[in-house]
Amino acid sequence: MADNENVEKITKSDQEWRAQLTPEQYAVLRQHGTERPFTGEYVHTKADGTYHCAACGQPLFASDTKFESGSGWPSFWDVVDQGNVDLRTDTSHGMRRTEVLCSRCGSHLGHLFEDGPRDQTGMRYCINSVALKLKPEE
């Protein structure tokens, strides 16, 4: 699962990321952490718009692909553009999962599972709220 080479990359020092992000954002986005389930701002949000990377602003998910998964994290059945995310194998915590990262800045967004809506893609992008910024439709 290779990085997308068609996206202009953003590279910042650790010090720059710490200055830009809140401590919770830094822990999730840069240290590959996970927010507690059912605590995120966007878990139950139904507003129309596009969800962007909280670190660099890259568009990631459209609100019309968001669904209630019951997992405790915002879940989407597709991305705005496959090139906007990178997928990597994650074997942390004794599990084998597919990690979802922003292809522009390399920030950890969440994980991808194959238990999403069967009438759509069958995929569930399980994403930390703190990794997202919703930009409402105008």
Following DSSP, what letter does each residue of 13-67 receive, concatenated?
-HHHHHHHS-HHHIIIIIT---PPTT-STTSS----EEEEETTT--EEEEGGGEE
This prediction has a pTM of 0.92
Calculate mean pLDDT across residues 59-69: 97
- d(CA 72, CA 27) in angstroms, rounded, equals 18
Whether residue 105 lies in the annotated active site: no
Domain assignment present for 46: yes
Q: pLDDT by residue (tens digit) across 12-35?
A: 999 999 999 999 999 999 999 999
Residue 65 lies in a domain: yes
In a domain, 122, yes or no: yes
Instruction: Give the per-residue pLDDT at 2.
Output: 47
- 86: containing domain: 37-136
Mean pLDDT of all residues in 60-89 = 96
Among positive and negative, which fits the CA dihedral 106, 109, 111, 117?
Answer: negative
Structural domain contains residue 83 = yes
Residue 22 lies in a domain: no
Q: What's the pLDDT score for residue 1?
A: 44
What total of structural domains would you count in the chain?
1
117 part of a folded domain = yes
pLDDT at 61 over 70: yes
pLDDT recorded at residue 4: 64
42: domain CATH number? 2.170.150.20
What average pLDDT is seen over the chain? Answer: 93
Candidates 53, 56, 102, 126; catalytic one: 126
Report the pLDDT value the prediction gives residue 90, as an integer from 0 to 100. Answer: 84
Range 3-7, long-range pairs (CB < 8 A, 24+ positions) = 3/86, 3/103, 4/82, 4/83, 4/84, 4/85, 4/86, 4/103, 6/83, 7/58, 7/83, 7/84, 7/103, 7/104
